[in-house]
């Protein structure tokens, strides 16, 4: 039995029946505890209590975060969470779309992703107010939003959190496979620079045990120093890539402003994979000292997504102009084979190795905590079974990578397959359900039309993008 049902959530910080607010009692208990332990906060907490008793509830004021982050820290976390293998695949995305359509298309997709994130965090805040809970996760927000909607949404509300979890799980496992391919491609490229031919799959096999070991680290605080180191060497690597890009002749000869129409879905999936940060957005907002600044017009989200979109557009545009049709699935494979190029590939592989442990952490937590642990309660081998789960998930990513060792097509496939749902049509459906009984008149008509268009685009991207990527993968195997 999983951690969700159609009435509410199970576990800590959750709520039950649709019309009850156990969060109120929880918050009063927290208030009493904090008042007793920290007299300094007594006045403020009494004000909160009066506000609560008056029927007002502001979730932001009731969030009990042990180490809240500032706006600047959250901004930097957002940038770090978005800078991964996706940005290195942007030149290939522009090859599929053409440099002109790529620049415009990336800006449009970036705007659309940002808008859908706004829909989600606004819905979370509104639902937290109604349910009188301080915070909700993405799956919890999806369940609550569907429960507030029209009859057809309420009937399928029980599947909403599982749908989110499945999409997130597929995305995280797909990302793990992409990282494994990335390590294999780049390390084998270093050997090739010295005239040594090493099969990419053998490199991935050699990396399997280290990947298993780093994913057996249960506490993320032990990875924090490695994460900081990974961020530094990633920035150094990007500097090397920029050096190579801008050292080449800047010419539009042989570069197409518009690519082939049949390849547009590959562009769509790759840009979604690269830009969409839906997996880190809600945890970041929930950990802020001033969460009201996250979604404001000039807040953290808008500033961060503008910077991210500009960075990704620049990498795609200049990478494609620099290398044209010879660009590879990761631009790190297109740069020179001299010493700086080899150092760049090694540094990026080290960074991605650390990131692999961070990327699979939510997937492991989802599979183990939500789905397996409730089934294994009472077992005497929980520790062993948890490690077996970790080893299985890492090995599963390895098997995917070995089965389909094409990083560009893998990125496009998982971008279209998972982020069309997580980043587009699910937020639109949550928004529609959350405000179903509040919006009236022209506002209701406009938002209904807008949300329906986003839902249709999401389903279209999922179906067409996934099928196009799968066809390209099949063609790759057929031509070998």
pLDDT digits (tens, 9 = 90+) for 347-360: 999 999 988 888 88
- Which residues make Cβ contacts (< 8 Å) with residue 339, sequence separation at least 6? none
- pLDDT grade for 17, boundaries at 50, 70 and 90: very low
Domain annotation covers residue 51: no
Domain annotation covers residue 362: yes
pLDDT tens digits for range 118-148: 999 999 999 999 999 989 999 999 999 999 9
Instruction: Check if the beta carbon of residue 180 is closer than 8 Å to that of residue 154.
Output: no
Packing angle of the helix pair 278-286, 71-82 (nearest 10 deg): 160
Token readout for 320 is 């494609």
- pLDDT grade for 2, boundaries at 50, 70 and 90: low
Domain annotation covers residue 43: no
Strands (E), 108-252: none
Q: Residue 108: is its pLDDT beyond 70? A: yes
Closest CA to 139 of 237, 245, 283, 277: 283
Instruction: Check if the beta carbon of residue 406 is closer than 8 Å to that of residue 473.
Output: yes
Domain annotation covers residue 14: no
- pLDDT grade for 101, boundaries at 50, 70 and 90: very high
Judged by average pLDDT, the poorest of 159-163, 312-316, 363-367, 459-463 is 363-367
Report the number of distinct structural domains present in the chain. 1
Domain annotation covers residue 191: yes
Range of the domain at 216: 64-479
Whole-model pTM: value is: 0.84
Domain annotation covers residue 335: yes
- Cα-Cα-Cα-Cα torsion 330, 461, 276, 368, nearest 10 degrees, comes to -100
How far is it, in rounded angstroms, from Cα 288 to Cα 265?
36
How far is it, in rounded angstroms, from Cα 315 to Cα 284?
25
- Backbone Cα Rg of the chain: 23
Tell me which residue has tokens 């789960």. 389
Q: Residue 377: is its pLDDT beyond 70? A: yes
How far is it, in rounded angstroms, from Cα 252 to Cα 173?
38
Looking at residue 478, its pLDDT comes to: 85
Q: Residue 258: is its pLDDT beyond 80? A: yes
Looking at residue 55, its pLDDT comes to: 56
How far is it, in rounded angstroms, from Cα 400 to Cα 299?
39
CATH number for 308: 1.20.1740
Q: What is the DSSP string of 32-61?
A: HHHHHH-GGGHHHHHHHHHHHHTT---GGG
- Cα-Cα-Cα-Cα torsion 321, 325, 329, 333, nearest 10 degrees, comes to -80
Q: What is the enclosing helix (H) or strand (E) of 466? A: helix 466-479
Domain annotation covers residue 273: yes
Token readout for 458 is 């999401």
Domain annotation covers residue 50: no
Q: Residue 88: is its pLDDT beyond 90? A: yes
């Amino acid at each position: 039995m999983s951690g969700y049902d159609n009435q509410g959530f199970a576990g800590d910080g959750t709520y039950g029946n649709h019309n009850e607010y156990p969060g109120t009692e929880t918050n009063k208990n927290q208030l009493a505890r904090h008042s007793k332990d920290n007299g300094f906060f007594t006045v403020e907490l009494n004000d909160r209590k009066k506000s609560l008793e008056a029927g007002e509830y502001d979730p932001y004021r009731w969030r009990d975060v042990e180490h809240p982050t500032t706006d600047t820290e959250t901004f930097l976390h957002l940038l770090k969470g978005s800078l991964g293998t996706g940005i290195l695949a942007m030149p290939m995305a522009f090859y599929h779309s053409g440099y002109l359509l790529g620049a415009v298309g990336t800006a449009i997709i970036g705007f659309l992703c940002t808008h859908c994130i706004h829909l989600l965090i606004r819905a979370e805040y509104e639902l937290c107010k109604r349910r009188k809970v301080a915070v909700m996760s993405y799956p919890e927000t999806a369940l609550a939003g569907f429960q507030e909607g029209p009859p057809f949404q309420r009937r399928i509300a029980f599947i909403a959190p599982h749908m989110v979890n499945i999409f997130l799980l597929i995305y995280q496992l797909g990302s793990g496979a992409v990282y494994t391919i990335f390590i294999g491609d780049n390390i084998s490229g270093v050997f090739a620079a010295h005239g040594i031919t090493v099969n990419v799959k053998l490199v991935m096999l050699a990396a399997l045990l280290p990947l298993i070991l780093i994913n057996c680290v249960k506490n993320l605080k032990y990875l924090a120093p490695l994460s900081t180191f990974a961020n530094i060497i990633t920035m150094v690597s990007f500097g090397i890539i920029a050096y190579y890009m801008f050292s080449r002749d800047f010419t539009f000869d042989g570069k197409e402003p518009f690519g082939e129409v049949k390849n547009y879905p590959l562009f769509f999936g790759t840009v979604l994979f690269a830009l969409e940060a839906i997996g880190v957005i809600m945890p970041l907002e929930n950990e802020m000292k001033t969460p009201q600044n996250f979604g404001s017009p000039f807040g953290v989200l808008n500033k961060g997504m503008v910077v991210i979109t500009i960075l990704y557009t620049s990498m795609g545009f200049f990478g494609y102009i620099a290398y044209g049709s010879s660009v590879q699935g990761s631009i790190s494979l297109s740069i020179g084979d001299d010493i700086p190029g080899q150092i760049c590939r090694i540094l990026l592989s080290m960074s991605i190795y650390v990131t692999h442990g961070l990327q699979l952490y939510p997937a492991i937590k989802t599979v183990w905590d939500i789905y397996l642990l409730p089934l294994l309660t009472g077992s005497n081998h929980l520790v062993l079974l948890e490690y077996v789960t970790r080893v299985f998930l890492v090995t599963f990513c390895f098997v995917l990578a070995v089965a389909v060792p094409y990083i560009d097509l893998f990125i496009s496939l998982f971008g279209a397959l998972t982020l069309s749902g997580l980043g587009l049509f699910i937020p639109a459906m949550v928004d529609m359900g959350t405000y179903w009984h509040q919006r009236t008149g022209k506002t209701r008509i406009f938002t209904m039309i807008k949300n329906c268009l986003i839902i249709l685009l999401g389903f279209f991207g999922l179906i067409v993008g996934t099928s196009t990527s799968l066809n390209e993968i099949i063609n790759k195997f057929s031509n070998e």
